[in-house]
Amino acid sequence: MKKLWLIYALITTLFWGVWGALTEISANAGFPGTLIYVVWSLTMIIPALVALKLIDWKLDTDKRSIIFGLIIGFTGAGGQLALLTGAIVSGPAYLIFPIISLSPVITILLSVFFLKEKASPKGWVGIVLALIAIPFLSFQDPEATISGYGWLVFALLVFLAWGLQAYFMKFANKTMKAESIFFYMTITGLMLAPIALLMTDWSQTINYSANGPYLAFAIQILNAIGALTIVFAFRYGKAIVVSPLTNAVAPVITVVISLIMYQIIPHYMILVGMGLAVASMFILSLEDD
């Protein structure tokens, strides 16, 4: 099926878009972002078991597969840790996710400069628009209640990490089974869980009720499923198309849901940034290898 990649990419887009809008609910309810990360790492186990079952538990264990698997895993999990422990706890989703959505710029630039892939003039227009969008998206209204730029630093770290992850995932899929890639993503996510536990302020009051860890699990499983389907999207589709679609369109869903939930009208500078990001998204989505 020629459009199989699109089916997987759209599943990821939908699940990640809803996840992005809901993921800060648990943090706002008194369940720390560090523990949300731990919950997320545990949700990865479920689709990982499904993936391993699909390949009859025949995991790729050669040196190259392990190296690529760990790189993909640590850039993905590291970005998730930065998102949940830094960005989400200090900034709003409607600002954070548009910046993260531009991570395909990293993937495309690395492919052009290191792999000698070519971008069309149209593709470069999309890249430039994405870069211009970042300062607009980071604008803070003097009258807004958001303080500091700590959230922006963490958002940019996620932007870089996930851009690198997509770059390496593209090539790993040529020699590795997608299911093996996801297994290593799961393992690395669990490996970083103790760090999240050490970062937790245990002196604070932690919400262990239904809208704490249990709600967090229900929300984070959306991300885990989307992480599995994006690996399959990269297997069947071109990274230069899959990456912009999943990483850019999903945050648009996040922004819309988030704005409806919190009834916030962003400053016009941020709206300009959103417009540039959306324009960049559609242009990059049309770019071919």
Question: Could you report the per-residue pLDDT of 225-282, keeping only the tens digit for each?
Answer: 999 999 999 888 877 778 877 776 777 787 778 778 877 777 788 788 888 888 887 7
pLDDT for 185-238, tens place per residue?
999 999 999 999 999 999 999 999 999 999 999 999 999 999 999 999 988 887
Structural domain including 204 reads 18-285
- Higher pLDDT pick, 270 / 154: 154
Is residue 3 one of the residues assigned to a domain?
A: no
pLDDT of residue 98: 75
**Sign of the C-alpha dihedral, residues 88, 93, 95, 96?**
positive
Is residue 105 one of the residues assigned to a domain?
A: yes
Using a pLDDT cut of 70, give the percent of the chain over it.
91
Q: Where does the pLDDT of residue 143 fall: very low under 50, low under 70, confident under 90, or very high at 90 and above?
A: low
pLDDT of residue 151: 82
- Residue 289 in this model has a pLDDT that exceeds 60: no
Is residue 13 one of the residues assigned to a domain?
A: no
pLDDT of residue 61: 96
Is residue 206 one of the residues assigned to a domain?
A: yes
Is residue 2 one of the residues assigned to a domain?
A: no
The whole-number average pLDDT for the span 50-58 is 96
Is residue 213 one of the residues assigned to a domain?
A: yes
State the total domains in the chain. Answer: 1
Is residue 134 one of the residues assigned to a domain?
A: yes
Mean pLDDT of the chain: 85
The whole-number average pLDDT for the span 152-163 is 91
Is residue 1 one of the residues assigned to a domain?
A: no
